[in-house]
A and B are shown apart, each in its own frame.
Chain A
Amino acid sequence: MSIVSWTVEPRDPRTQPQGEVTGYAQTFRRWPAQPLVVRPHDTGELSGPERLERRLPPSKADLAGRGAKRAIGQLIHLRARIVDEDGAPVPGALVEIWHCNAAGKYLHPNDSNDAPADPNFQGNARLVAGDSGLVELRTIKPAAYPVPDTAGWWRPPHIHFSVWGRVWLSRLVTQMFFPGEPLNENDAILNAVRDPEARERCIARLVPTARASETALIYEYQLVVRGRKGAPRMP
């Protein structure tokens, strides 16, 4: 591993969600009550692990093909591009992706949502970006699901992304949303980001398909790991 050391541009606070969010009770139990401390940056913060796949092995890029049959739901083909604050691709970036199934159920023992599991749905993937910073994934569109113990909050369909930029400070976990979803308008998590342009960057773009014979809808999404146009971090 050779050292990777960069300077980083700060994130614009308007593009980042607030720590405490009305309607999202856990934020008031978990977000620190004390203000975050501003510290100087040094080698540790401005370097990061290279070829992380040595510790976190990649998986196959298909969440819809776990079993003998394909997973239930609208097949989608997701193209996500990982770029840094200058818009330059981050080749070799490790990307973790997870989401619920087409009934709104996560493949996770802690999800007690009363929705059926799908044995043919994989639930998560770990991929390495190519030279152009691109990862591609076949999956199904996740469903909306109700958030327990809230006044009617439903999460809009979304996909979780966990990525590593070049340095420790550009570590990012966020969520990708789908265009045209009415639930996007009222989602407490998406709307915890004040800047409308930053919220817009969280929403993938539907790409017109060239042929009717395509089997999946194509979505494109660009993820800026840091800087003024950095993606909003989300849980």
Chain B
Amino acid sequence: MTLGPFFPREFAQGANDLTIVAGKRAEGEVIEIAGIVTELDGKPLDNVVVEIWQADARGRYDNPNFFGWGRAATDANGRYSFRTVKPGKVGGRAPHINFLVLYSGLMRQLQTTMFFEKVSDPVLDVVKQRERLIARKISSQSFSFDLRLRGEGETPFFDD
């Protein structure tokens, strides 16, 4: 038995596919991003809410034909997934996806950022363990990005 929040499961349903906007396919390369959310000792966590905010394929946050926000919840194995398009460079920023994590035991919501490659970026450059923010490439259409909240291999999180 756990302490909540018992984030309603229906809140996270139907919001993890960013490739379709108002019935139309968004422009860009379709990719899947999936990962496991774990706590101390690598234990996977169920019903963790993961939200993302990203630019479109051309690096725009204000494209009316793209909706760069999505939400997923982990299953009993700690696994979440998104279908989206690969974001472009935003000004001087390398392509990236902003993540927010909400869960019981997290007194404040945690923010981090996923990158596709180890390149120079003003945010990535301030992180010591920057390799932990680089997604693992499974194939050209599939990336893996685990969120280790605490413990070995801990994901760097940002103060906002």
Q: Is the CB of A233 within 8 A of B108?
A: yes
The interface residues of chain A, by DSSP majority, are classed as: loop
- B interface residues, Cβ below 8 angstroms from A: 1-11, 15, 22, 39-41, 43, 45-47, 51, 53-55, 61-64, 66-71, 90-91, 93, 96, 98, 100, 102-110, 122-123, 126-128, 149-151, 154-160
Distance in angstroms between the alpha carbons of A190 and B31 in the assembled complex: 41
A-B contact pairs, 5 of them (CB 8 A): A29-B41, A30-B105, A39-B122, A123-B8, A171-B51
Q: 6 tightest CB-CB pairs across the interface, nearest first?
A: A26-B105, A3-B62, A108-B6, A36-B159, A49-B69, A30-B105
Q: Is the CB of B61 within 8 A of A26?
A: no
Q: Is the CB of A55 within 8 A of B5?
A: no
- Which chain B residue lies CB-closest to A124? B8
The residue in A28, A148, A168 that gathers the most chain B C-beta atoms within 10 A of its C-beta is: A168
Residues of A contacting B54 with CB < 8 Å?
44
The interface residues of chain B, by DSSP majority, are classed as: loop
**Complex interface residues of chain A between 143 and 178 (CB less than 8 A to chain B):** 147-149, 155, 160, 162, 168-169, 171-173
A195 within 8 A of B: no
User: Which listed residue, B11, B100, B126, B150, touches A30 by the CB 8 Å rule?
Assistant: B150
Q: Is the CB of B10 within 8 A of A111?
A: no
The residue in A1, A43, A169 that gathers the most chain B C-beta atoms within 10 A of its C-beta is: A1
Q: Is the CB of B6 within 8 A of A45?
A: no
- Which chain B residue lies CB-closest to A125? B8
Whole-angstrom distance between the Cβ of B83 and the nearest chain A Cβ: 13
Q: Is the CB of B106 within 8 A of A39?
A: no
Q: Is the CB of A42 within 8 A of B154?
A: no
The residue in A30, A43, A108 that gathers the most chain B C-beta atoms within 10 A of its C-beta is: A30
Distance in angstroms between the alpha carbons of A132 and B128 in the assembled complex: 44
Residues of A contacting B46 with CB < 8 Å?
110
Known: A36-B159, A233-B108, A235-B107. 12 other contacts (CB 8 A): A2-B64, A19-B107, A26-B105, A29-B40, A31-B107, A43-B91, A47-B62, A108-B4, A108-B7, A110-B2, A148-B1, A171-B109
Q: Assuming the A-B contacts A33-B151, A36-B158, A126-B11, are A1 and B67 also in contact, with contact meaning beta carbons closer than 8 angstroms in the complex?
A: yes
Distance in angstroms between the alpha carbons of A160 and B156 in the assembled complex: 27
